[in-house]
Amino acid sequence: MSQTGVDFKTAVEQEAARLRLVHPTPDDIPTCINMAELVTSCHAIRSQVKSWYRYGEMTKCGWKHDDFKFCLSMKWMEHDQRYDAWIQRRAEWWAKRRLEKSSEDVWAMRDKPIPNFPPPVTDEEIHNMKKRRAVRCHVTIDSVKLLEMCNLPYSR
């Protein structure tokens, strides 16, 4: 079980169902050419510099290589078998990613909004805000008058 209370098998089933909605037909899954382009772009200077800047290390392209090799290994399969194999592999990848520790673990998904949020604004808070604005405007007007008296340039 993970922090979300879902086991791996259930997570894979959920991800497979989601992927079948996103990619409804076998023609919607990426081709081996697409996978090869992803591998190539991963090794491009732009990707490497971005990774170095963000994470302090080079881009890890191993999983893209693995996807490309997997795609090549599916070439002998029938169209529907290839589709099912790709959906299963991606569902396992997403499930693993979802269940492992992540920087996104600090965020909790809410089912409903927080009650009384944002809190209602009271009349006293409105009055205090108006007073602060009046003071700010008064200071600005006095500053302009001071600049005018000293013949200093200013812009409005």
pLDDT reported for residue 84: 95
pLDDT reported for residue 118: 78
Quote the CA–CA distance of 95 and 67 in Å, as a whole number: 16
> Tokens 């490497």 belong to which residue?
48
pLDDT reported for residue 150: 61
* Confidence (pTM): 0.58
pLDDT reported for residue 3: 54
Q: What is the three-class DSSP state of 85?
A: helix
Residues of the chain with pLDDT under 50: none
pLDDT reported for residue 89: 95
pLDDT reported for residue 119: 81
pLDDT reported for residue 116: 80
Are the C-beta atoms of 142 and 152 separated by less than 8 Å? no
CB atoms within 10 A of CB 74: 17
